[in-house]
Structure 1
Amino acid sequence: MAELAAAEVYAPRTIQVWRTLLNWMAFFFQIFAQILRGTPSFTQVLSYVGIRHGSLLDSVPHSPTFKPLSAVELPDFAEEPEEAPPPAAIPVSGGGGREIDDVSPLEKLTVVLDLDETLVCAYETSSLPSMLRSQATEGGLNWFELECISSDKEFEGKPKINYVTVFERPGLKEFLNRLSEFANLVLFTAGLEGYARPLVDRIDVENRFCRRLYRPSTISTEYREHVKDLSSLSKDLCRIVIVDNNPFSFLLQPLNGIPCIPFSAGQSKDEQLLQVILPLLKHLSLQKDVRPVLYERFHMPEWFQKHGIPASGWTNAL
């Protein structure tokens, strides 16, 4: 009887243990599936298990209504020859009066690059699970730890030091090397300088960025704060583009923007920089005016209209 009673107690407990294990296996399978897809929703999975994303540190949170454009993946673009003519052009004014048959040498393309979730992603070291760091390392991601000055103050008035772990987007160094061969690079982030400057020092040891701009260089509009105004870099918008995971960053010049998929530490197989963005930028470097090509690719003015932002400020460029 004692053995029978023990068996009756043991069996339900065994079933409960197996159910618990199956639930955990299903949960981790969902995370693994998100990693394989490399989609931004992995950030939502991280938040579910209590991980605080580091891009919120001294930077600007993105609009919850923002969804990456599916066109950003450009699956067919890498196969296009560099000599291919641009898509059907739309009339663009304000570009210095260039004609289609102008054979004068092209000015070097200027490429403005965002930092957080575009080139890198950063997490507070104290809240970063060792499991995530191990998975990123096994996946081949380069990462480093960093001390940066926070905008907050200690109780004695001294600047607070934050410790963050930074993961580089796959192919970052090669991307910057190859891009600098045919373009002028500008770093433009909405993050504070105390956080962004030491980070950029680590990823840009060769000083490929000719300029670095931080949050004070952004402007506020009636629709969004911390917008990046390209006219502060060049009055001629024919040969300048901005790559950013948040399209609202280039609200003032939507015809010059390239929206990229946000990057997180769970995307060790991400190929955006070398397989998607670099071929597009190489193609744009051969164009007299980048705006007709980018309009045909992304139709950003229409995207902003769908988000309640009128196109009246861009009609002169279309």
Structure 2
Amino acid sequence: MNQRNEKQEQCTNLYLPQLINKPLEENSKTFKQIGSINTLKTISQFKNDSISEFQIKNDVSYNYSNKFTQSNKEKSQIQSNRAHTVCKQYQFVNQLRNEIYYKNYFIGGIKEILSKDKYSQNLKQMCLDQLNQIYKNVTCNTQIFNSKKQMPNLILSKKYSIAIDLDETLVHSEELQPNKRYDFQNLQFGAFIRPYSQQFLQLVSKHANLFIFTSSNLKYAKIIAQILDPQKEYFQGIFFRDHCTVLKDNTQTKDINIISGDLTKIILIDNNPQCFIPQPFNGIPIIPFLDSKTDQELIILSQFLEREIFNVEDVQPVIKRFFQFEQFRQFQNGVQAFEILHN
């Protein structure tokens, strides 16, 4: 956590007043793509790919017409290969979605991580911390903070709204380390993108207004937003550190009233359940992400949202019934509750 805060502080907070969605040309110039971001382009996008790499040189010694024909053939073959890859990726994702039993979401993931040696001690400790954060979420006195005022001029065109965290939810960022292959990096940090992020955002944006809600500073949030959503297709705005609510004990939370006063149709997805304290039954937790290429949590989460959330008039009783975190109240802490209730 300290390393992440140090990394975030390297990006100076701009303290801009409201939602910022301007492009970051100056930041994009510093990006260096190293690995895959699990991007699924549409076939139409492939058709618009530039052929600059096959552009014909003006040389009197070769046949312009034959070279142009060959270039088009090469371009068509590349487009065909890419389209085939996209279709295979979609088929793979659909197969995963059909195989996954979404009712094991979150608690099943914690049980898996805590019981297997293949997971790092760092990830295990983060999961134990989550359990205690859940306990604090359901036992905290919600009257000890002032509710945030709703942000004006937000257009909520879809039935549902979802605010989603960045760090350890959609990405994991850290100071650059040698011998690590990052999905993206600039001069300040390297970032791993959670597998299936693009597919997840594409799916849920069909049903919900999507917003980033991070406790990081704005400049960092805009960099990550540009990586995840370069065409600005998914996110309608960014809420950052200045929009968070700090309790009397310095606990940082996220009051989603700032997006909408209708709590029946809004959700906050975060790896830190303490963020749900202002609205404990509007929060959906997610297993922390570090750098695992086999992580499938976003696929499981998309199944849960589709089958349990995107067809109801009030999300709160659904979330309350599905996770049953109220049972944690009868124990001394979250870890004890988990050991007794789920083992």
Same fold by TM (over 0.5)?
yes
Aligned amino acid, residue 253 of structure 1: Q
Paired with 1:305 and 1:226, the residues of 2 have a C-alpha distance of 24
Deviation of 1:297 (Å): 1.4
Gaps of 5+ in 1: 1-32, 46-61, 71-105, 134-141, 148-162, 310-318
Deviation of 1:225 (Å): 2.6
Deviation of 1:277 (Å): 0.8
Q: Which residue of 1 aligns with 2:184?
A: 144
Conserved 8 A contact 1:188-1:213: yes
Aligned amino acid, residue 201 of structure 1: Q
SS in 2 for 1:67: helix
Q: 1:119 aligns with which of 156, 161, 170?
A: 170
Deviation of 1:39 (Å): 4.6
Conserved 8 A contact 1:215-1:226: no
Matched, 1:186 2:237: no
SS in 2 for 1:206: coil
Matched, 1:67 2:131: yes
Matched, 1:245 2:271: yes
Q: Which residue of 1 aligns with 2:199?
A: 174
Deviation of 1:41 (Å): 3.4
SS in 2 for 1:199: helix
CA RMSD after TM alignment: 3.2
Identity %: 29
Deviation of 1:146 (Å): 2.5
SS in 1 for 2:281: helix
Paired with 1:295 and 1:118, the residues of 2 have a C-alpha distance of 21
Gaps of 5+ in 2: 1-112, 135-156, 335-343
SS in 1 for 2:246: coil
Output aligned runs, 1:196-235, within 5 Å.
196-207=221-232, 208-235=234-261
Matched, 1:262 2:292: no
Paired with 1:109 and 1:214, the residues of 2 have a C-alpha distance of 21
SS in 2 for 1:254: coil
SS in 2 for 1:234: coil
Conserved 8 A contact 2:245-2:254: yes
Q: 2:303 aligns with which of 255, 279, 301?
A: 279
**What TM-score results when the alignment is normalised by the length of structure 1?**
0.55
Conserved 8 A contact 2:127-2:287: no
Conserved 8 A contact 1:191-1:215: yes
**What TM-score results when the alignment is normalised by the length of structure 2?**
0.51
